[in-house]
Structure 1
Amino acid sequence: MIDPNELADRRDGYVDLRSYAAIGDGRTVALIAHDGSIDWYPTPDLDSTPAFARLLDADGGGALELCPAESFTATRAYVDGTNVLATTYTTPSGTVQVTDSLNTGVAGRLPWGELARRIEGMTGNVPMRWAIRPGNCFQTASPWVQSTDHGAVLMVDGTALGVRGINEGEVTIEGQAISGTLTTAPGSRHLIAVISTHDEPLPLPDPQSVDAGIERTISNWQTWSREFSYDGPYADQVLRSALALKLLIHSPSGSIAAAATTSLPESRAGGKNWDYRYTWLRDTAYTLHALVRTGVREEVHAAVSWMLKNLRTQGRDLQVFTRLNGEIPEGTRTPDLPGWRGLGPVVDGNPAAGQLQLGVFGDLFDIVRLYVEAGHVLDPTTSRQLADLADLACDTWQQRDAGIWELPEERHYTTSKLGCWHALDSAVKLSEAGQLQRPAERWRAERDRIRDWVEEHCWSEDRQSYVWYPGSQELDASILLHAISGYERGPRMSSTIDALRNELGAGPLLYRYSGMQDEESTFVACAYWMVAALALVGRKEEARSQMDELLPLANDVGLLAEMIDADDRHEFMGNLPQGLSHLALITAALSLADDE
C-alpha cells in the first residue's frame, strides 16, 4: 500500500487519486487532497461547471489551498459518523488540525454554499498559508475580484465567492486570487470560509456563525448515522459507504449521482474518460437496493418519487440517465483541457444518452418491488404506468441493445435479457401483492420464455459458464448481478464464478469483461458483486476471504473510486467517489450478513 503522505506529491501539478477525501452538503461535493488543496468544488450543484477544478487542469483549473508553510506530514480521518474531515499536520515547528466542512443548516441544506475550514493550533507555532484561486470554468470564464463595502468578492461565470475569516492573518489580493498567511499557537483558532451563490445575491454571514456551523453540521451527520440501522459484519465500512452514497444524493430533487466527478481516466493510457455527474436509473436502483435494507427512509422515498415523476414525462421512451434536475442531457463537449496528469480528454456530458439498454427495465422494477416490500403502497397512476412498462418489456426483450456497459456494439447481451427477466419477475410479484392492477399471466409467461432463451443460447457447456452474448465464448462479470437478483444461485452460477475468476480475476479484483486487461483497470463493483455471488451460492468462506482482501484497498478515509489498478500500488482510476463501488460493498456485506 502507498504511504499516504506520498500521495500528496504533486507530480506535474496533480496528486494521486487516492489522496482525495470528499465532503458535501446535499447539493455538491468538494475533494480535498492530503496537502489541504481542494481541487474539485463545483457550485451550486454537483453537475455545475466547476470554478475549482485543479483535478483536471493543474494550471488553470483553480483550487482552494490551505496547508503549513513548511515541510509536513498529514494524518486524517472523518469525524465519527460524518462527512466532515479532520486533518492533523505535523511540522518541524509543531502540529495543527484543520477541520473541513461543507456546512448544513438548522433545517437541512443551506440556501447558499458554505465551505468552512477551521484551523486549530495544537503544539508549537506553525506558519500556515491559504489561497482562494478560482479557475476558468472549463475555459468558459475568467475570474475577477470585485471590491465591496464588505470586502473583496471573487466573481466567475455567475458564481459569487465571498471570503469570511477569523484570525485569518495577513490577507493579499492579487490578480484573480485572494490569499493569506497566519501562524498558529497552542489553543489558537482560525477560520477561512468561502460563501458561494450563483446568479443571485451573495449573503456574507458572520464568521462566528460559520464556525458554529461546523458543529451543527457534525451533529446533523451524526443524527443521520444513528438512524442508519445495520449492525452486521463490516459495520464500520458499511456506514462509511452509506455516508459516501449520501454525498451523491442531490437533496433538491432526490436524484442520485453516479459519481462526483468527470473525465478521470480508467487506465494510465487515458481515452476512456466519462462524465458521471448524472443520475442513472441503473445506479439509482442498486443504491436504493442497499439503502432500503439499512433503514434509510427519507432519501429512499425522495429518490423513488423523483424517478417515477421523471418516468411519467418519458412515457415509453425510458432514458438511461438524466441530469440531476431531471432534464434530458444535451450532447457533449470536450473543452481543451489536459485532464488529470494529462490523461485527457476532459468530457462535459455523456455520449450514452439515447442508448437502448434493456437492463433498465429490471432496474426500475427492482426499485419499486423493494419499495413495496419495505411497507409502502403505489398510487394508481404509478400502478398503471408500471403495468404498461411491463408489457413493453415483454415486447422489446428480444431486441439488441448497448448492454450494461453502454457499448457502441448492439448485441443480445445476456445480462440485458436477464434484466427483462428480473423486471417481469418483479411485475408478477407486484401483481400478486395487489400493487399492479392488471393480470400477471402475460408477464409470467414471457418471463419464462426469457429464461428458456437464456438457458439455450447463453450457456456454454465448453466453458461451464454463462457467456457475454450468444455465439461468444467471452465472459461478462455483470452476470454476477443475477445471483443477487435471484435468477440463478445453483451449480451454473457457481461454475460461472470460477470461470470469471480464472479469466478476469486479478487477486481479489475483477475486470469487467473479456479483453479489458489490456484496456483498463479492474472494476471495483465487480469484485464486490463476486463476494455477494459467492455468499449466495453457498460459498461463504470464500466470500469472507475475498471481502477481507478487498476492504483494505479503499483509501485512508474509506473512499472508493470506480477502478483500481491491479499492480502492487493499487492506484485509483476512474471517477470518485463512485456510488456503484460503495453500494456494491454494502450489498456484499448484506449478503454475508444474511448467511449468519
Structure 2
Amino acid sequence: MGTSNGSPETAIDPVPSAGRRRTRGYVSLREYAVLGDGRTAALVARDGSMDWLCLPDLDSPAVFGAVLDAARGGRFTLEPSVPYRVERRYLPGTNVLETTFRTSTGTVRITDALTLHDDATLTPARELLRRVEGLSGCVPLRWSVTPRFGYGTHRTRITRRAGVPVATAGRDALAICAWEAGEPVCDSNAVSGHFTLAEGRRALLAMPFAHQEPLVLPARSECEARLDATCAAWRRWADDRPYTGRWRQAVMRSLLALKLLVYAPSGAVAAAVTTSLPEEIGGERNWDYRFSWVRDSAFTLAAFLRLGCPAEAHAYFWWLMHASQLTHPRMNVLYRLDGGHRTPEKTLSWEGYRHSEPVRTGNAAVAQVQLDTYGELMQTAWQYAGAAGRLDADVARRLAELADLVCTVWQEPDAGIWEVRSPPRHFTQSKMMCWVALDRAADLAQRGLIPDRHLPRWNAARDDIAEFIENRCFSADRDSYVRSPGSDDLDAAVLLGHLYGYGGDDHRMRATISALDRDLRHGPYVDRYSGEDGLAGGEGAFLACSFWLAESLARTGSLAQAVELMDELVGLSNDVGLYSEEIDPVTGDFLGNLPQGLSHLALISAACAITAASKDTAR
C-alpha cells in the first residue's frame, strides 16, 4: 500500500515465488498496474503476466483477457523460471512500469510500455515493448504470448513472416519480435521462449499490432529508441503540471492514471480500462466501464483545469458537446469513446474473474434516465466558460434548450447516479443536480454567455426544486437529507449537491455530512447508500464517496478531520498508486473495474480542496 503522505514506496514481495502465485489462475486485483498509449491500455500483474489488453482500441475486443478467464482469456507472460521476489514502480513522472525480479542467482529488471509514436515516421499502429536488463548474476527467464482475438471467439493462426512469429485472426495481426530473448517456439495456440540473462546484458520483446492495415515489423534499434522516447514524453507531460500541494505524488499519479483513460483520437475519458471486474466476488454486479459517463464530466474538466491541462480540457469538452448533440436535448447516461450513443449489452461465455459471472460487454445503463446528468453537463459547461470566457453560439443555444428541458423533466423519477436496476424513483441527488443545472444556466445567462429569453422560468423552476428538496427530502429523525422522499435511507451522493453548491439550508447540509460520516462510514470506507437497489448480493465500499466526504469535511471547517481521512485514503492505493472502483473493507482487496477514473478524480478534487482550505486557515 501507499504511504500516508501520498508517496507509494517501491513494494517488495516478501514471499519467494516458484512461478505465478495464483489461485486457480487469478491474482488479487491489487496486483495490477496499467499501461497505456492514449488509444488502448493493458493490465500487468506483479508476476509479469499481462492479463488484459484490448486492440486496437480501449473499447475493442480483448486479445489478452486472462483477468476474466484464466484458462481461455489469453495473456503475455514474462518471469524468471526460478523462485523470485518482486518489487516494482512506475518510472517517476511516467506511465512506464519497472518490475525488478530478485532470485538466488541474480536480479533482472523489466521495463514495460505501450509506446507513444512520432507520426512523422512509419511505425506500428500499436506497440508493446518489454525490455529485460540483467542487473546481477545470471537469471533464467521464460515468456509466452497466447493471443485470443475477439474475446477468444476468433480462430488464431500463427505463422512466420521474415522469420518473425505472427498471429492473425481476420483483419488483425500481431507479431512477436525477440532479441536476445531466446528462439521463439510456435505452436497452434502460442509463441513462447526461454533464455538466461547475465549481468550487463539486455533482451527485448516487442509486440507490434495492426488492424486493417499492414503489419510493420520494427528494427530493434527503433524499438529501443521509442521506449526511451516514450519515457521522455511522459516526463515532459508530467513536468508541466503545476500542483505543489499536499499529497503531490498521489495527485500526480492520479492525473497520470486519468491521462491513460483519455482516448486521444476523440478526447473522451473512459470510466476505466476494464469490463466486468466484480463489485462482489462471485456476484452479478459486473459492468463494462470502457465508456465515458456524463456523471464524471464536471470532476474531469475541473481536474484538467486545476492541474494545468488546457489541451485535455478543451478536447474533452468538445467531445462531450459533440456526443451529447446526437441525443439533444435528452442526455444519455454514457457515450462511446468515439461519441456514439449505442452500447448494447451482451454476455460473453467467459467464467469471469474468480468465477464472477456474467462477463458483459456494452452497458444497458445507456437507456436509463438519470437526471443528475443535466446538472453535470451544465456544471461542466459553466466551468469551461469560466476558463475560456466564452461559449460557441451553437453550444450556448443548446445549453439554453437543455435548461428549458430541465424545467420539465426534474419532476420525473429516474434511476439515479447509482444506476439502480429497480423501478425509478425521485432521488434527492438527482433533484439537487437539476437545481445545479438551472442555477448554472441562470448565471451563464446573466453574464451574456447563453440566451436569457427563459431566465424567469429557470429561476422559478430552480426555486420549485429547492422547495421539493427541503420539504420532502430531509428527515428530521435522521437529521439528514435522505435518499428519496419518504425514505429513511442515506445516500452519499447527496455530498455532490454540497460540492457543486446546491443552495439549500446550510445547517441541514452540515447535519447531513455528519450523519453520513456517522452512519455510512466505517474507518476510511464510506458506503454508497443504505437500503435496497434491486440487485442481488452486496458490494465493497465505493472509494469516490470517501473522497467526497473528505472534501465536504474540509469545506465545512472540519479540516483536521478531513486531513486525517485523506491520509488514510491515500494509504489505500495499491503499491503503484492506483485505485479500483471499490475496496472490500474487511480484506482490503480491490473490487470493481480499474483503474477507476472517478476514484482518481475524487482524490484530485479532495486534495485540491483540502490544500486550499489549509491555506485559507493559515492566513
* TM band (smaller chain): over 0.9
Q: Find the counterpart in structure 2 of residue 522 from structure 1.
A: 541
Return the TM-score normalized by structure 2: 0.93
Q: Find the counterpart in structure 1 of residue 438 from structure 2.
A: 424
Letter in 2 for 1:511: D
Q: 1:62 to 1:269 in 2, by over 3 A?
A: closer
Checking the alignment, whether the CA contact within 8 Å between 2:165 and 2:177 is kept in structure 1 is no
Checking the alignment, whether the CA contact within 8 Å between 1:265 and 1:575 is kept in structure 2 is yes
Q: Find the counterpart in structure 1 of residue 600 from structure 2.
A: 582
Checking the alignment, whether the CA contact within 8 Å between 1:51 and 1:156 is kept in structure 2 is no
Structure 1 Cα separation of the partners of residues 124 and 222 of structure 2: 15
Equivalences for residues 128-167 of structure 1 within 5 A: 128-135=141-148, 137-167=150-180
1:371 is paired with a residue whose SS is: helix
Structure 2 Cα separation of the partners of residues 317 and 421 of structure 1: 17
Q: CA deviation at 1:311?
A: 2.1
Checking the alignment, whether the CA contact within 8 Å between 2:124 and 2:218 is kept in structure 1 is no
Give the alignment's Cα RMSD to 1 decimal: 1.8
Q: Find the counterpart in structure 1 of residue 525 from structure 2.
A: 509
Checking the alignment, whether the CA contact within 8 Å between 2:124 and 2:216 is kept in structure 1 is no
Letter in 1 for 2:562: A
Instruction: Note if 1:539 corresponds to 2:558.
Output: yes
Paired residue for 1:113, among 116, 126, 129?
Answer: 126
Checking the alignment, whether the CA contact within 8 Å between 2:124 and 2:217 is kept in structure 1 is no
Q: 1:82 to 1:108 in 2, by over 3 A?
A: farther
Equivalences for residues 254-269 of structure 1 within 5 A: 254-269=267-282
Q: Find the counterpart in structure 2 of residue 557 from structure 1.
A: 576
Q: CA deviation at 1:9?
A: 2.2
Which stretch of the first structure deviates more once superposed, 226-235 or 576-585? 226-235
Q: 1:317 to 1:59 in 2, by over 3 A?
A: same
Q: CA deviation at 1:420?
A: 0.6
Structure 2 Cα separation of the partners of residues 155 and 532 of structure 1: 50
Checking the alignment, whether the CA contact within 8 Å between 2:164 and 2:177 is kept in structure 1 is no
2:64 is paired with a residue whose SS is: coil
Question: Deviations 1:243-295 (Å, cap 9, x if unpaired)?
Answer: 00110000011111011100011012411110001111112332112221111
Checking the alignment, whether the CA contact within 8 Å between 2:282 and 2:357 is kept in structure 1 is no
Structure 2 Cα separation of the partners of residues 286 and 589 of structure 1: 13
Structure 2 Cα separation of the partners of residues 323 and 312 of structure 1: 13
Instruction: Note if 1:324 corresponds to 2:343.
Output: no
Letter in 1 for 2:546: A
1:181 is paired with a residue whose SS is: strand
Q: Find the counterpart in structure 2 of residue 44 from structure 1.
A: 56
1:472 is paired with a residue whose SS is: coil
Q: 1:4 to 1:333 in 2, by over 3 A?
A: farther
In structure 1, runs of 5+ residues without a counterpart are none
Q: Find the counterpart in structure 1 of residue 115 from structure 2.
A: 103
Structure 1 Cα separation of the partners of residues 581 and 190 of structure 2: 33
Checking the alignment, whether the CA contact within 8 Å between 2:51 and 2:64 is kept in structure 1 is yes
Letter in 1 for 2:482: V
Runs of 4+ in 1 over 3 A off after TM superposition: 1-8, 107-111, 515-518
Instruction: Note if 1:414 corresponds to 2:428.
Output: yes
Which stretch of the first structure deviates more once superposed, 99-108 or 180-189? 99-108
Equivalences for residues 16-95 of structure 1 within 5 A: 16-95=28-107
Q: Find the counterpart in structure 2 of residue 476 from structure 1.
A: 491
Letter in 2 for 1:592: I
Paired residue for 2:387, among 370, 374, 377?
Answer: 374
Instruction: Note if 1:337 corresponds to 2:350.
Output: yes
Question: Deviations 1:91-130 (Å, cap 9, x if unpaired)?
Answer: 0111010000100013599761110000000000001111
Return the TM-score normalized by structure 1: 0.97
Equivalences for residues 461-472 of structure 1 within 5 A: 461-472=476-487
Q: Percent identity?
A: 43
Question: Deviations 1:193-221 (Å, cap 9, x if unpaired)?
Answer: 10001122111111211111111111111
Checking the alignment, whether the CA contact within 8 Å between 2:513 and 2:549 is kept in structure 1 is yes
Aligned length: 595
Checking the alignment, whether the CA contact within 8 Å between 1:71 and 1:91 is kept in structure 2 is yes
Checking the alignment, whether the CA contact within 8 Å between 1:232 and 1:593 is kept in structure 2 is yes
Checking the alignment, whether the CA contact within 8 Å between 2:326 and 2:341 is kept in structure 1 is no
Q: CA deviation at 1:166?
A: 2.1
Letter in 2 for 1:362: G
Instruction: Note if 1:499 corresponds to 2:540.
Output: no
Checking the alignment, whether the CA contact within 8 Å between 2:134 and 2:199 is kept in structure 1 is yes
Checking the alignment, whether the CA contact within 8 Å between 2:144 and 2:192 is kept in structure 1 is yes
Equivalences for residues 237-386 of structure 1 within 5 A: 237-386=250-399
Letter in 2 for 1:84: V
Checking the alignment, whether the CA contact within 8 Å between 1:68 and 1:89 is kept in structure 2 is yes
Question: Deviations 1:481-538 (Å, cap 9, x if unpaired)?
Answer: 1221012583222221222123221211111110479711100000000001111111
Structure 1 Cα separation of the partners of residues 194 and 612 of structure 2: 54
Which stretch of the first structure deviates more once superposed, 292-301 or 95-104? 292-301
In structure 2, runs of 5+ residues without a counterpart are 2-10
Q: 1:376 to 1:250 in 2, by over 3 A?
A: farther
Question: Deviations 1:531-589 (Å, cap 9, x if unpaired)?
Answer: 0111111111110010011111100000000000001x300000000000000000110
1:182 is paired with a residue whose SS is: strand
Q: Find the counterpart in structure 2 of residue 455 from structure 1.
A: 470
Question: Deviations 1:9-32 (Å, cap 9, x if unpaired)?
Answer: 210001100000001000111100
Q: Find the counterpart in structure 1 of residue 450 from structure 2.
A: 436
Instruction: Note if 1:592 corresponds to 2:610.
Output: yes
Paired residue for 1:14, among 26, 44, 49?
Answer: 26
Checking the alignment, whether the CA contact within 8 Å between 1:158 and 1:199 is kept in structure 2 is yes
Paired residue for 2:501, among 486, 507, 512?
Answer: 486
Structure 2 Cα separation of the partners of residues 179 and 61 of structure 1: 17
Checking the alignment, whether the CA contact within 8 Å between 1:130 and 1:181 is kept in structure 2 is yes
Checking the alignment, whether the CA contact within 8 Å between 1:503 and 1:514 is kept in structure 2 is no
Which stretch of the first structure deviates more once superposed, 487-496 or 178-187? 487-496
Q: Find the counterpart in structure 2 of residue 196 from structure 1.
A: 209
Question: Deviations 1:60-119 (Å, cap 9, x if unpaired)?
Answer: 100011111111111000001010001111001110100001000135997611100000
Structure 2 Cα separation of the partners of residues 197 and 469 of structure 1: 50
Structure 2 Cα separation of the partners of residues 373 and 156 of structure 1: 49
Q: 1:342 to 1:535 in 2, by over 3 A?
A: same
Equivalences for residues 398-409 of structure 1 within 5 A: 398-408=411-421, 409=423
Checking the alignment, whether the CA contact within 8 Å between 2:33 and 2:43 is kept in structure 1 is yes
1:353 is paired with a residue whose SS is: helix
Q: CA deviation at 1:452?
A: 1.5
Q: 1:157 to 1:536 in 2, by over 3 A?
A: farther
Letter in 2 for 1:98: I
Checking the alignment, whether the CA contact within 8 Å between 1:61 and 1:137 is kept in structure 2 is no
Letter in 1 for 2:86: A
Checking the alignment, whether the CA contact within 8 Å between 1:89 and 1:95 is kept in structure 2 is yes
Q: CA deviation at 1:184?
A: 1.1
Q: CA deviation at 1:138?
A: 2.5
Q: CA deviation at 1:351?
A: 1.4
Checking the alignment, whether the CA contact within 8 Å between 2:124 and 2:215 is kept in structure 1 is no
Q: 1:450 to 1:3 in 2, by over 3 A?
A: farther
Question: Deviations 1:395-446 (Å, cap 9, x if unpaired)?
Answer: 1101101100111220010000011111111111211222102242222222
Letter in 2 for 1:442: R
Instruction: Note if 1:572 corresponds to 2:584.
Output: no
2:192 is paired with a residue whose SS is: strand
Structure 1 Cα separation of the partners of residues 178 and 70 of structure 2: 26
